[in-house]
Amino acid sequence: MGEFVNLTVSDGVGTIRLDRPKMNALNVQVQDEIRAAAEQAVADDAVRAVVIYGGERVFAAGADIKEMADMSYGDMVKRSGPLQASLSAVAAIPKPTVAAITGYALGGGCELALCADYRIAAEDAKLGQPEILLGIIPGAGGTQRLSRLVGPSKAKDIIYTGRFVDAAESLRIGLVDKVVPAAEVYDAAVAWASQFSRGAALALRAAKEAIDAGLGVDLNTGLEIERQQFAALFATEDRSIGMKSFVENGPGKAAFKGF
């Protein structure tokens, strides 16, 4: 359990909860605790899906600028790798993940949300990459994950201007996947994650790995990644359970074991 970030588990859904008042600024300690919580979610077989949540007021308003302001070029050369690695650990969770976005998700907070598979935002949420207003650029995946999600021209507009993107526009351009009233954000995220709490865990993992790995390669290489993942699942017990259940009872009734 970290001081500002912890993982709780209920009915197969793990919640990585940020709680560093007032705005969940991502200082070095929070970054390290995010990575630790992500690694814990990977290792815990009771966790079948993950919600990333900053609380009712704010998701995460970005890096701790007071801490960062005193860093030299040499300091950031050393720190930039661990900074990226802390958020990449969330992206690498081999289970379905959803960001529950309330209030602001800016800078590093937006980059953290981009690491999830799915994003649910409050109606009054604001997302953005305002680093350019500080004379820098996103450094924890924003230039790469945002452009892959919404396309390069929209990502450049958001990053070049540093403007805040409201929930309606975020939904329209694909930056978020669902918008709900602020009071319903966490419950909606848990409901999405709960779909997978008794799913075919290895098949879900294979699907995520095939999609994520395939995005970075040419089509033929991506198809080979898919082929290998597809064939490997025929060695799992869940594949036998799923096909037997389909033949005997029709689709959607299999009681998977997760292996």
218 and 189, same structural domain?
A: no
Annotated active-site residue in 2, 54, 107, 108: 108
What SS3 class is residue 194? helix
The parent domain of residue 83 ranges over: 5-194
pLDDT of 197:
94
Residue-wise burial string across 165-194, b where 16 or more C-beta atoms lie within 10 A, e elsewhere? bbbeebbebebbbebbebeebbebbbebbb
Q: Is 99 a catalytic residue?
A: no
239 and 177, same structural domain?
A: no
Q: One digit per residue, pLDDT tens: the chain, 259 residues? A: 899 999 999 999 999 999 999 999 999 999 999 999 999 999 999 999 999 999 999 999 988 899 999 999 999 999 999 999 999 999 999 999 999 999 999 999 999 999 999 999 999 999 999 999 999 999 999 999 999 999 999 999 999 999 999 999 999 999 999 999 999 999 999 999 999 999 999 999 999 999 999 999 999 999 999 999 999 999 999 999 999 999 999 999 999 998 8
211 and 177, same structural domain?
A: no
Q: pTM for the complete prediction?
A: 0.95
103 and 41, same structural domain?
A: yes
Q: Give the pairing type, strands 104-106 and 126-128.
A: parallel
232 and 114, same structural domain?
A: no
Q: Is 116 a catalytic residue?
A: no
169 and 207, same structural domain?
A: no
189 and 218, same structural domain?
A: no
Annotated active-site residue in 25, 37, 63, 121: 63
Q: 83: domain CATH number?
A: 3.90.226.10
142 and 32, same structural domain?
A: yes
Q: Is 184 a catalytic residue?
A: no
CB 112 within 8 A of CB 87: yes
Q: 219: domain CATH number?
A: 1.10.12.10
206 and 189, same structural domain?
A: no
Bridge partners of 118? Answer: 98
236 and 120, same structural domain?
A: no
Q: Is 182 a catalytic residue?
A: no
Annotated active-site residue in 37, 121, 131, 200: 131
Type of residue numbered 16: I
Q: How many domains does the chain have?
A: 2
Can you read off the two tokens belonging to residue 208? 């995520």
Annotated active-site residue in 89, 111, 116, 128: 111
pLDDT of 250:
94
Give me the long-range contacts of 218-227 (CB less than 8 A, separation at least 24): none
